[in-house]
Protein backbone atom coordinates (compact mmCIF):
# COMPACT_ATOMS: atom_id res chain seq x y z
CA UNK A 1 0.00 0.00 0.00
CA UNK A 2 1.31 3.42 -0.95
CA UNK A 3 1.12 6.02 1.80
CA UNK A 4 0.74 9.77 1.64
CA UNK A 5 4.30 10.13 2.89
CA UNK A 6 5.56 8.56 -0.33
CA UNK A 7 3.69 11.04 -2.54
CA UNK A 8 3.40 14.20 -0.42
CA UNK A 9 5.35 17.39 -0.96
CA UNK A 10 7.75 17.37 1.99
CA UNK A 11 8.50 20.64 3.77
CA UNK A 12 5.77 22.62 2.01
CA UNK A 13 5.95 26.37 1.52
CA UNK A 14 4.49 28.00 4.62
CA UNK A 15 3.85 31.39 6.15
CA UNK A 16 3.19 32.58 9.68
CA UNK A 17 -0.01 34.20 10.92
CA UNK A 18 1.89 37.52 11.03
CA UNK A 19 2.17 37.65 7.22
CA UNK A 20 -0.52 39.47 5.24
CA UNK A 21 -3.03 38.15 2.76
CA UNK A 22 -1.09 40.15 0.18
CA UNK A 23 2.05 38.14 1.10
CA UNK A 24 0.04 34.95 0.57
CA UNK A 25 -1.22 36.17 -2.82
CA UNK A 26 2.29 37.04 -4.03
CA UNK A 27 3.62 33.68 -2.85
CA UNK A 28 0.77 31.76 -4.46
CA UNK A 29 1.29 33.63 -7.73
CA UNK A 30 5.07 33.18 -7.79
CA UNK A 31 5.07 29.50 -6.76
CA UNK A 32 1.85 28.61 -8.60
CA UNK A 33 0.23 27.05 -5.54
CA UNK A 34 -3.30 27.29 -4.12
CA UNK A 35 -2.83 26.33 -0.46
CA UNK A 36 -0.44 27.70 2.14
CA UNK A 37 -0.21 26.09 5.57
CA UNK A 38 0.24 28.61 8.37
CA UNK A 39 2.67 27.41 11.02
CA UNK A 40 4.15 28.58 14.29
CA UNK A 41 7.87 29.01 14.88
CA UNK A 42 7.99 25.36 15.98
CA UNK A 43 6.28 24.20 12.75
CA UNK A 44 2.99 23.44 14.46
CA UNK A 45 0.13 23.78 12.03
CA UNK A 46 -2.08 26.73 12.96
CA UNK A 47 -4.31 26.91 9.92
CA UNK A 48 -4.49 27.10 6.18
CA UNK A 49 -4.93 29.95 3.74
CA UNK A 50 -6.34 29.07 0.34
CA UNK A 51 -6.67 30.76 -2.99
CA UNK A 52 -10.37 31.24 -2.17
CA UNK A 53 -9.40 33.24 0.92
CA UNK A 54 -7.22 35.49 -1.23
CA UNK A 55 -9.98 35.94 -3.81
CA UNK A 56 -12.51 36.77 -1.08
CA UNK A 57 -10.14 39.38 0.36
CA UNK A 58 -9.62 40.89 -3.08
CA UNK A 59 -13.37 41.11 -3.66
CA UNK A 60 -13.79 42.65 -0.24
CA UNK A 61 -10.97 45.06 -1.04
CA UNK A 62 -12.71 46.13 -4.25
CA UNK A 63 -15.94 46.75 -2.40
CA UNK A 64 -14.10 49.00 0.06
CA UNK A 65 -12.07 50.90 -2.49
CA UNK A 66 -12.03 53.85 -0.11
CA UNK A 67 -10.90 53.57 3.49
CA UNK A 68 -8.06 52.35 5.63
CA UNK A 69 -9.26 48.79 6.22
CA UNK A 70 -7.75 47.14 3.14
CA UNK A 71 -8.25 43.38 3.67
CA UNK A 72 -5.17 42.66 1.55
CA UNK A 73 -3.03 44.26 4.27
CA UNK A 74 -4.64 42.27 7.07
CA UNK A 75 -2.60 39.58 8.77
CA UNK A 76 -3.33 35.97 7.91
CA UNK A 77 -4.62 35.36 11.43
CA UNK A 78 -7.90 36.95 10.23
CA UNK A 79 -8.27 34.52 7.32
CA UNK A 80 -7.10 31.21 8.74
CA UNK A 81 -9.18 28.11 8.27
CA UNK A 82 -8.81 26.68 11.76
CA UNK A 83 -10.98 23.57 11.45
CA UNK A 84 -8.54 21.59 9.38
CA UNK A 85 -8.54 18.06 8.17
CA UNK A 86 -5.08 16.53 8.52
CA UNK A 87 -3.64 13.05 8.15
CA UNK A 88 -0.69 11.11 9.47
CA UNK A 89 2.09 10.16 7.04
CA UNK A 90 1.15 6.48 7.29
CA UNK A 91 -2.35 6.92 5.83
CA UNK A 92 -2.89 5.11 2.54
CA UNK A 93 -3.16 7.14 -0.67
CA UNK A 94 -6.56 5.69 -1.55
CA UNK A 95 -7.94 6.54 1.90
CA UNK A 96 -6.61 10.09 1.63
CA UNK A 97 -8.09 10.54 -1.86
CA UNK A 98 -11.49 9.23 -0.78
CA UNK A 99 -11.39 11.48 2.30
CA UNK A 100 -10.61 14.55 0.18
CA UNK A 101 -13.39 13.65 -2.25
CA UNK A 102 -15.92 13.05 0.52
CA UNK A 103 -15.16 16.36 2.25
CA UNK A 104 -14.63 18.30 -1.00
CA UNK A 105 -11.24 19.64 0.04
CA UNK A 106 -8.25 20.46 -2.16
CA UNK A 107 -5.42 19.50 0.16
CA UNK A 108 -4.44 17.55 3.23
CA UNK A 109 -1.65 18.76 5.48
CA UNK A 110 0.45 15.83 6.72
CA UNK A 111 1.13 16.08 10.44
CA UNK A 112 3.44 13.98 12.59
CA UNK A 113 3.98 14.63 16.31
CA UNK A 114 1.87 17.80 15.95
CA UNK A 115 4.29 19.22 13.35
CA UNK A 116 3.62 19.86 9.68
CA UNK A 117 5.87 17.58 7.61
CA UNK A 118 4.18 17.71 4.21
CA UNK A 119 1.11 18.36 2.12
CA UNK A 120 -0.77 16.41 -0.53
CA UNK A 121 -3.12 18.17 -2.91
CA UNK A 122 -5.71 17.35 -5.51
CA UNK A 123 -3.08 18.26 -8.12
CA UNK A 124 -0.82 15.53 -6.70
CA UNK A 125 -3.64 13.02 -7.17
CA UNK A 126 -4.13 14.10 -10.77
CA UNK A 127 -0.40 13.47 -11.37
CA UNK A 128 -0.73 10.04 -9.75
CA UNK A 129 -3.71 9.22 -11.99
CA UNK A 130 -1.78 10.27 -15.10
CA UNK A 131 1.15 8.04 -14.10
CA UNK A 132 -1.18 5.09 -13.54
CA UNK A 133 -2.83 5.65 -16.93
CA UNK A 134 0.58 5.75 -18.61
CA UNK A 135 1.59 2.49 -16.90
CA UNK A 136 -1.68 0.91 -18.00
CA UNK A 137 -1.12 2.00 -21.60
CA UNK A 138 2.40 0.53 -21.57
CA UNK A 139 1.23 -2.84 -20.25
CA UNK A 140 -1.82 -3.29 -22.49
CA UNK A 141 -1.25 -5.80 -25.29
CA UNK A 142 -0.81 -4.05 -28.61
CA UNK A 143 -3.52 -4.75 -31.15
CA UNK A 144 -2.15 -5.83 -34.49
CA UNK A 145 -3.42 -3.92 -37.48
CA UNK A 146 -6.00 -5.77 -39.53
CA UNK A 147 -6.78 -8.33 -36.81
CA UNK A 148 -10.22 -8.45 -35.31
CA UNK A 149 -11.21 -10.14 -32.12
Q: Give the pLDDT confidence of 3-37 residue by residue, as tens digits.
A: 999 999 999 999 999 999 999 999 999 999 999 99
CA–CA distances in Å: residue 120 to residues 30, 62, 73, 142:
19, 32, 28, 35
Report angle CA 104, 105, 108 to the nearest 5 degrees. 145
Classify residue 8 by burial, with Cβ atoms within 10 Å: 0-12, 13-18, 19+.
buried
pLDDT in tens, 84-105: 899 999 999 999 999 999 999 9
Contact 113, 26 (CB under 8 A): no
Selection from 33-37, 62-66, 143-147 with the highest mean pLDDT: 33-37
Amino acid sequence: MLTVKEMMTPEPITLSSKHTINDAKRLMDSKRIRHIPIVSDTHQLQGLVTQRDVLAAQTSSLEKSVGNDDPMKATLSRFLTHSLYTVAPTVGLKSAALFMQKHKIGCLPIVENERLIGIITDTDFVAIAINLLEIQEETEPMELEGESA
